[in-house]
Structure 1
């Protein structure tokens, strides 16, 4: 070893020792250990959340409400080319209120935005909502961001004249919330279609080795297909936990770049939308949640092909119930971990929503369980 090499190596010793000492004292920088699927494998494994569902069988549509125990910080990310939303601007950076009293996912296209009216009325009657100060006779203003999907052409009776059912459906859903709820043809997924298959409501969860819970809820009404062309395997099959979506897992089948398989063949603006909510129990701020919602969009890209097209209205909300502190260590690293998990959990939720879907009474079409093989 020459003198220059020896001096460089000697100078590096304190730095190497410091790095080893730092790593030993900071186990949070390493993988915290194996995690597991939550006990319910639903978004409500995140403490502080309940879900309400309501549907109208005649109209073939429905509403899902995500109801936190108390107001919580939230964010949103919109990627589809034809979104339909309410109060999402409230959640953007620089605005006064970046928290929510509830989140609504609804069928019904633009008519479905009225589901938030019923939810807001229920919350306001209970004194829940935003207010700068308490004034006698002045109700609070519930913040209820909402996203809608298009299910108007599924054969249900939409001749509602001046009385679309969505306000009533929103009210019915928020009045009957629970931690255990049904997937598939329920709530906002009641009239949904995932490509050429029946779509539905899906949910999944994961608990990290250091105790952070990440959950996802999604209504799948996509232009794209959720299964690999020529197979029954979900695009998200590699991420499947146990037999939650049929147990087929991944496939090694090669797919042509422009083979969309069972995608919809008659796309139209706003006619195809996947709307979702990510929930975590870690104490995150609105900017952290915005990043997590953005990362979670990649979960849709892994589960649906194609996605985020001009004809889709894809929207993802993210919220925190703040029941647990972030693990010790750099905050950006924690956000990256949670965001990556959010994408995986959302992919699983998409597959579960289609796997669990059934045809409503009188509706024709094909479900995943009807596929050959």
Structure 2
């Protein structure tokens, strides 16, 4: 069994400091390592405010990428949601963290030397997790942090661990006293010429489950020295669950898919993630998956459904990576 990393609950006291009260400095948010991936033209950057701690993660595709968005659950925090994007910004800070995506937009505008002709516009979508539960302040990812994350972006590497948008993410929140820190994870798969990167930020009310059916993160019972499936607590009416949760996922592939096929890929992979997160898509989750394609290769000898099945296994690997 993995060692517990129990989260400390916020007191939600009034008058706590926020961005305007502090001299915040955007910092790199490297996590404990990176997952390398080979999809040319895709850059990833992270940044954080240590005072939170909270952060954001930016996936930048300078050439732009067709996008499908699958949003589920009762508490979605989403901006843009466009079907074509140059960047995706994931952030903590709940609704206030949506400002980080505006910072990414501003940075991209500056990089285009303020050109605003229609075909010069840089398109950015964003989504947020509620990470105030584990900290006693109101610091949130703002425009300056979004700009910093984009400036830190590197091609071919995805930072993992308690970093970026996953800096203060928590999972297994049947009762926050039993919650554990989550984080962000990533996995990369190649299937012939087809490639897929899946990265996810785990801030779910549910627990994280491996392929053997064992709970590896969340709902840790100190008195029992182990983790329990939430269904046991719900059956005993032991808890109603904690509000303020969300899992954010970005899938990037080089496979050329029709719009309908890309949309279905997003749904198929997002649906598959319930195997690794239980329960998933709940009333208090705001789960969002962005599926982007760089439109480089055709599927050769593989149907979109089969590719979706393979990508779903990569997604499960990303979930387990985030729980490490």
Could you tell me the TM-score, scaled by structure 1's length? Answer: 0.66
1:15 aligns to what?
A: none
Q: Which deviations, in whole Å up to 9, do the C-alpha atoms of 1:109-165 show, x marking residues without a partner?
A: 00110001110011111229997746xxxxx4321111100001212432x5xxx54
Pair 47,114 (structure 1): closer, same or farther in 2 beyond 3 Å: same
Against the structure 1 CA distance between its residues 260 and 205, is the aligned structure 2 distance closer, same or farther, given a 3 Å change threshold? farther
C-alpha distance in 2 between matches for 1:70 and 1:150? 31
Cα offset, 1:166, TM superposition = 1.7
Corresponding residue for 2:94?
A: 109
1:258 aligns with one of 231, 248, 256: 231
Distance in 2 between the 1:341 and 1:234 partners? 23
| Map of 1:215 onto structure 2 | 197
CA distance in 2, matches of 1:172, 1:127: 17
In structure 2, stretches of 5+ residues that fail to align are 1-32, 173-178, 218-227
Secondary structure of the residue that 2:278 maps to in structure 1? coil
Give a deviation string over 1:143-198, Cα, whole Å, max 9, x none.
1111100001212432x5xxx54211110000111122431111001010011211
Distance in 2, Cα, partners of 1:121 & 1:256: 44
Alignment partner, residue 283 of structure 1: 256
Matches within 5 A, 1:219-258: 219-227=201-209, 233-234=215-216, 258=231
CA apart distance, 1:267:
3.4
Aligned to 1:325: 298
1:337 matched to 2:314: no
Q: CA 1:126–1:260 in 2, change beyond 3 Å: closer, same or farther?
A: farther
C-alpha change, 1:65 and 1:205, in structure 2 (3 Å) is same
What secondary structure is seen at the aligned counterpart in 2 of 1:292? helix
From the superposition, tell whether residues 320 and 256 of structure 1 become closer, same or farther in structure 2 (CA, over 3 Å): closer
Bigger shift: 142-151 or 277-286?
Answer: 277-286
Shift of 1:68: 1.2
Give CA-to-partner distance per residue, 1:1-50, whole Å, 9 cap, x none: xxxxxxxxxxxxxxxxxxxxxxxxxxxxxxxxxxxxxxx98373333211
1:145 corresponds to which residue? 125
Show the counterpart of 1:126.
Answer: 111
Equivalent residue number for residue 77 of structure 2: 84
Give the secondary structure class of the aligned counterpart of 1:182: strand
Q: Report the counterpart of residue 50 of structure 1 in structure 2.
A: 43
Deviations 1:194-246 (A, max 9, x none): 112111010001111x2211110110000001147xx96549xxxxxxxxxxx
1:43/1:132 Cα in 2 relative to 1: closer, same or farther (>3 Å)? farther
C-alpha distance in 2, partners of 1:123/1:173? 12
Residue of structure 2 equivalent to 1:366: none
Structure with the higher fraction of residues in strand conformation: 2
* Counterpart Cα distance in 1 of 2:258 and 2:145: 31
Post-superposition offset of 1:59: 1.1
Moved over 3 A (4+): 40-44, 128-134, 231-235, 264-269
- Out of 241, 246, 253, the position equivalent to 1:267 is 241
Q: Deviations over 1:304-323 (max 9, x none)?
A: 11111000000000001122
Give secondary structure in 1 for the equivalent of 2:197. Answer: strand
Q: In 2, Cα distance between the equivalents of 1:345 and 1:175?
A: 28
Aligned partners of 1:226, 1:193: CA distance in 2, in Å?
11
Number of the residue aligned with 1:369? none
Q: Which of 158, 169, 174 is the matching residue for 1:192?
A: 169
Q: Distance in 1 between matches of 2:241 and 2:36?
A: 30
1:73: Cα distance to partner? 0.7
Q: CA RMSD in A?
A: 2.9
Seen in structure 2, the aligned counterparts of structure 1 residues 133 and 57 have a Cα distance that, compared at 3 Å, is closer
**1:281 to 1:157, Cα distance in 2 relative to 1, 3 A:** same
From the superposition, tell whether residues 165 and 78 of structure 1 become closer, same or farther in structure 2 (CA, over 3 Å).
closer
Of 195, 198, 201 in structure 1, the residue corresponding to residue 184 of structure 2 is: 201
After superposition, the Cα gap between the structure-2 partners of 1:133 and 1:225, relative to the gap in structure 1 and judged at 3 Å, is closer
